[in-house]
Amino acid sequence: MRRLSSATLDALPDDVIRPAYDRAAVRAGVVHLGIGAFHRAHQAAVFDDVLNAGDLRWGIVAASLRSPRVRDQMAPQDGLYTMLVRDGSSERARIIGAVQRVIVAPEEPLALLDALASPHTHIVTLTITEKGYKLDPATGELIEHDPQLAADLASLTRPQTAPGYLVAALAKRKALGLPPFTAISCDNLPHNGRRLRNAVLALAHRHDAPLAEWIAEEGAFPETMVDRIVPATTAEDVAALAARLDVADHAMIKTEPFTQWVIEDRFCGPRPEFGAGVQLTAAVAPWEEAKLRLLNGAHSGIAYLGGLAGIEHVHEVLALPAARAFVEALWDEAQTTLSPPPELNIALYRRELMARFDNPTLRHRTRQIAMDGSQKLPQRLLAPIAARLATGKGIKALSLAVAAWLRWQAGQDDLGNAHDVDDPLAGMIAARLKGAGTPEERVAAILRVDAVVPPALAENGAFRMALTRWLAMLETQGALATLASFQGEI
């Protein structure tokens, strides 16, 4: 079967939406680090909207910092891919043409530096996950023992990390007399712009103090909040789309209708006129906090409890009345820790979230959400727990979600099926838990992991007691029975 490409666009069914611009006339004004499914469903679609509106300065050069997989999927397709938007029984197919090239950084580091240093590049976006910033979650300092970062600390001739590429490229721009670019983190992290700025400035200071001062004075690192559910694409998805289009698309992605990008209006150079789904604001933090503690916090609880019960998809977990009651209770607790902006109606937002979780066509896998829990829990669950305890409020639902994460570390669900604990701290956590024979001992062991649990929270007796109670129940009764008991208590 033929591959999707520029040559096969005209052969697609009439209901498939195609780029409305001349791709040959597009300039690459954006470099994206960490191309994956989320970027293709979110930022790339936004810039594709800008191109469709007639501003051809905003094509994308994308880079993978590790694997050639996405490059190998997209290169034979001229960078084209299908975005399937699914909602219930409806499905809309749109071809995204914004990505002009995909660079595999370990294979072509100088090509990536050239793209970042190009005078046409005004914006750099990043989806590199929490691990990619090379900052210690507890201290905010560079993780100097990380082998890739250690190499970048020694030399930036061939960078290995995202901060390394940004510093090397900004040094090159400064030497060429070019202004810096606006660097926009699109990862689900509190204060993501500040975190990216701190990583870049810390690394720059180690190499060239005047460069760091120039970046601090002239550069821009806006805070952002991104939101769109993008489940992993399966082989079945690829086969079904090929049957529909009569062309093969190995880079396709699937997503929901909802999309949101809130960006702090702080740019150091040109920016496009963004369209629907993008909101420029003076303060991102209230939006970000609501999203992390409501959407992402609930997602983590659903993922671990559902995963322990052997349930594969989010919508299947929420088909259980007890799980639905748990999510509502978690939202009740987390909501009290928020300071939402006037434009954000929390009651409406919660109803929209539940409708998104219920979307059966997304088939969002619990195990996909369960990845990297040690990096996600501090902002999603532990921060609202600390806020509620500080004001004397209960943490029944929030602590159950954390206990489910701790139970997940055992690597086996309630049915006896083994699963990988896909987490950068998995080895260290496993070592801490080894030999801990009781729930009390396991809780004590995890509370000593200060890269996950802030020391002040670890010392809180109410938190320790709640965590121990739920963990014991999960281990002896399983997730489904625990959810039923939880529902009976609220």
Cα separation of 258 and 251, whole Å?
Answer: 21
- Torsion (CA) 352, 353, 359, 362 in degrees, nearest 10: 130
Question: For the residues 453-469, what does the mean pLDDT come to?
Answer: 96
Confidence of residue 72 (pLDDT cuts 50, 70, 90): very high
Burial class of residue 75 (count of CB atoms within 10 Å of its CB; 0-12, 13-18, 19+): middle
In degrees, rounded to 5, the angle at the alpha carbon of residue 419 between the alpha carbons of residues 399 and 438 is 50
Q: Among residues 33, 13, 157, 19, which one has the least CA distance to residue 80?
A: 19
| Over residues 242-248, mean pLDDT | 96
pLDDT tens digits, one per residue of 400-420: 999 999 999 999 999 999 999
Radius of gyration of the chain (CA): 23
Q: How many CB atoms lie within 10 A of CB 416?
A: 7
- Tokens at 155, concatenated: 């030399």
Give residue 197's Cα distance to chain centre: 18
pTM above 0.95, yes or no: no
Q: Which pLDDT band holds residue 362 (cuts at 50, 70, 90)? A: confident
Q: How far apart are CA 251 and CA 271, in angstroms?
A: 27
* Confidence bin at 216 (pLDDT 50/70/90): very high
Neighbour count for residue 129 (Cβ, 10 Å): 18
Q: Per-residue pLDDT for 490 more than 90?
A: no
Residues 175-182, mean pLDDT to the nearest whole number: 98
pLDDT of residue 139: 85
Dihedral of alpha carbons 5, 9, 11, 12, sign: positive
Residue length of the chain: 490
pLDDT at 137 over 80: no
Q: What percent of the chain has pLDDT over 90?
A: 94
What does the DSSP assignment read for 364-433? -BHHHHTTTHHHHHIIIIIHHHHHHHHTT---HHHHHHHHHHHHHTTSB-TTS-B-----TTHHHHHHHH
What's the pLDDT score for residue 461?
96
Angle ∠(163,132,212) on CA atoms, nearest 5? 20
The pLDDT of 246-267, averaged and rounded, is 96
* For range 182-187, the mean pLDDT: 97
- Could you tell me what percent of the chain has a pLDDT over 70? 100
